[in-house]
Amino acid sequence: MAREFSAQAKKEIAAIQERYPERAAATLPALYIAQREFGHIDDEAVALVAGELELPEVRVREVATWYTMYHKAPLGRHLVEVCTNLSCHLRGGKELLDGVCRELKVKPGGTTEDTRFTVCEVECLGSCGTAPALQIDGEFQENATPEKLAAALRAAD
């Protein structure tokens, strides 16, 4: 059976479209709704968003693949996002990412075999003054250290 948006999601997307002079401007929030509905953005979700917005699929796919906040595959139960942008990189963000990937035996963007964790490298979490920064399930960790990260991973679940 083909996937489709819930009636509530369709209603939300229609309301969002009314706020913008052009349909394409609603692509980002419509993709968020799709991700909430389906857990990730795959080709089928792209097609559904394109259909709702009456846009070419390639236009929606360009947006979905450009931004790191849209997940292209199913996620683990916990999402670990480590910033490696300039400020975080200079203060150890890359080392944090490498360490958590080593510990969990995944590559950036990968999910552990037990599907407990997905680890992603992200561009910026907007916390340059308290770098390095990361998020676990949307909860910020600033001035992150390997010890703080390990404790947060143990506390997950």
73 in a structural domain: no
At residue 69, the pLDDT reads: 84
Give the chain's domain count.
Answer: 2
CATH of the domain at 60: 1.10.10
1 in a structural domain: no
For residue 139, pLDDT over 70 is answered with yes
At residue 9, the pLDDT reads: 97
- Let me know: does 141 contact 152? Beta carbons within 8 Å: yes
pLDDT in tens, 31-89: 999 999 999 999 999 999 999 999 999 999 999 999 878 998 899 999 999 999 999 99
At residue 85, the pLDDT reads: 94
What is residue 73's DSSP assignment? S
Domain that holds residue 59: 7-66
Residues 116 and 146 in one domain: yes
pLDDT in tens, 101-136: 999 999 999 999 999 999 999 988 999 999 999 999
For residue 157, pLDDT over 80 is answered with no
* Amino acid letter, 134: L
Residues 83 and 149 in one domain: yes
132 in a structural domain: yes
φ, ψ for residue 64, nearest 5 deg? -65, -35
For residue 1, pLDDT over 70 is answered with no
Residue length of the chain: 157
* Amino acid letter, 7: A
